[in-house]
């Protein structure tokens, strides 16, 4: 192949533009489906405890508060080890470190089947958080090694459809396991669920060692012209970013602002993720398989919405309103789910709207900090934002469980999530447009 010209930009309908588009398609097909698959099994292992609750709470005589604390304590371990894990990934490479993360969390998730007391439940959830720390921000960082900001929104959205896909796949699967595997070989359905759903994490973790390349230069499936073009685009993108010393990253007002925005959105994500089966059950549905099938509906529409809005945001080069408007719609859906809590059809409509809004904002949010952080600052900053934001995964489930015990209803918890989604949307609009528009 002839050497590719090296102008800083290319226009549409030129050989260079066609070559660039074809190369990014090649990269996308190589990386994104596999990364998506990794995150599907990661998120499934993280939130399948919400389905386990349908049987586990009764079998082990846990209160709603105990369950909420156990579900949320995952994020304490996650928080403590998040930044160190992501800095290690940046130094040793994504291939080895992501494989380590996936194999270790798969083993721990499967071992949760042996829990018999609240203390054991807390310990296993904490260890799961320790094992998984660094996975999500590591993937976000890894995507920045391959894609410039102008292409990153849709790629991150495609990757993060894994959250919705895990609900789409995991809901019916978990419901089936709970219903049909209960009692097999003397094990409860929830025990089989933890065991069966842990196996893919270990298998795919091993596959990571053979599929991922740490950097563009390491990719044997790209020719020299393709590598050079991709590296030029990344180099040009990096020039607009700040590579701050770690001390400045941790004290940066921008990073703390991003952390607060992400906290507001994540509290909505995990509030719905951990409690959606319970909310559906509260509308009058009792069969575990039916609950699983119904919980798949919001995630199905969320997948479509995430891809469409992510693509539109990239084409328009606009981030703030593409985040804020879905956040407000998500808040409306959460609120309406309380108003229609005794009508399954209307509640499912509201929960679908809420889930779509929450799922849309999460991938687009990451186009904000990655627009101005680079190098080690990106590794530490992304990890810090993710770890602080994911404390909402502890706060949200615990508070919802506490409020449900106190009021015998999930409505007060949904009101809490509504407020945070509105706050996240308003804070996003406070971010200067010049900082994040590409």
Tens of pLDDT, residue by residue over 10-35, are 445 567 788 988 999 999 999 989 99
State the pTM of this model: 0.71
Structure tokens at 144: 């920045």
Max Cα distance, the chain (Å) = 71
Tens of pLDDT, residue by residue over 137-164, are 788 888 888 988 778 777 877 887 877 7
Tens of pLDDT, residue by residue over 247-288, are 666 777 888 888 999 999 988 887 777 667 877 888 888 888
Domains present along the chain, CATH in parentheses: 32-216 (1.20.1250.20), 246-437 (1.20.1250.20)
CA distance 83 to 103: 20
341: number of Cβ within 10 Å: 18
For the segment 37-48, the average pLDDT, to the nearest whole number, is 80
CA distance 5 to 124: 55
Tens of pLDDT, residue by residue over 319-337, are 899 999 999 999 999 899 8
pLDDT grade for 243, boundaries at 50, 70 and 90: low
Instruction: Write down the pLDDT at residue 409.
Output: 75
Structure tokens at 303: 């997948």
Q: In this model, does residue 316 exceed pLDDT 80? A: yes
């Amino acid at each position: 192949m002839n050497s590719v010209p090296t102008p800083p930009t290319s226009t549409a309908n030129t050989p260079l533009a066609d070559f660039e588009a074809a190369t990014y398609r090649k990269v996308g097909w190589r990386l994104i489906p596999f990364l998506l698959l990794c995150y599907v099994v990661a998120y499934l292992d993280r939130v399948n405890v919400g389905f386990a609750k349908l049987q586990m709470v009764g079998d082990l005589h846990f209160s709603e508060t105990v369950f909420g604390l156990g579900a949320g304590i995952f994020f304490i371990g996650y928080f403590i080890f998040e930044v160190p894990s992501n800095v290690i990934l940046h130094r040793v490479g994504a291939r080895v470190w992501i494989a380590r993360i996936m194999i270790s969390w798969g083993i721990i998730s499967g071992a949760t089947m042996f829990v018999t007391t609240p203390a054991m439940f807390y310990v296993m959830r904490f260890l799961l958080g320790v094992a998984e720390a660094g996975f999500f921000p590591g993937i976000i960082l890894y995507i920045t090694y391959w894609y410039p900001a102008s292409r990153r929104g849709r790629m991150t959205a495609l990757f993060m459809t894994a959250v919705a896909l895990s609900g789409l796949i995991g809901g019916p699967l978990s419901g089936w396991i709970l219903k049909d595997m209960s009692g097999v070989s003397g094990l409860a359905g929830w025990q089989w669920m933890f065991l069966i759903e842990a196996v893919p994490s270990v298998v795919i973790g091993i596959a990571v060692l053979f599929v991922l390349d740490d950097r563009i230069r390491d990719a044997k499936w790209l020719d020299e012209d393709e590598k050079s073009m991709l590296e030029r685009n990344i180099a040009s993108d990096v020039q607009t970013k700040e590579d701050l010393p770690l001390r400045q990253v941790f004290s940066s007002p921008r990073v703390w602002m991003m952390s607060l925005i992400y906290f507001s959105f994540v509290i909505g994500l995990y509030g719905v993720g951990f409690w959606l089966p319970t909310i559906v059950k509260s509308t009058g549905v009792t069969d575990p398989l039916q609950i699983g099938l119904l919980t798949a509906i919001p995630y199905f529409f969320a997948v479509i919405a995430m891809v469409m809005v992510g693509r539109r945001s990239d084409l328009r080069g606009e981030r703030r309103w593409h985040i804020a408007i879905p956040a407000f719609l998500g808040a409306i859906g959460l609120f309406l789910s309380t108003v229609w809590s005794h009508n399954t059809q209307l509640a499912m409509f509201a929960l679908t709207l809420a889930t779509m809004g929450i799922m849309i904002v999460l991938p687009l949010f990451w186009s904000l900090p990655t627009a101005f952080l680079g190098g080690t600052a990106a590794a530490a900053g992304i990890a810090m934002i993710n770890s602080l934001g994911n404390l909402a995964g502890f706060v949200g489930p615990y508070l919802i469980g506490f409020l449900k015990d106190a009021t015998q209803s999930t409505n007060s918890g949904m009101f809490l999530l509504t407020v945070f989604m509105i706050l996240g949307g308003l804070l996003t609009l406070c971010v200067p447009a010049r900082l994040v528009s590409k």
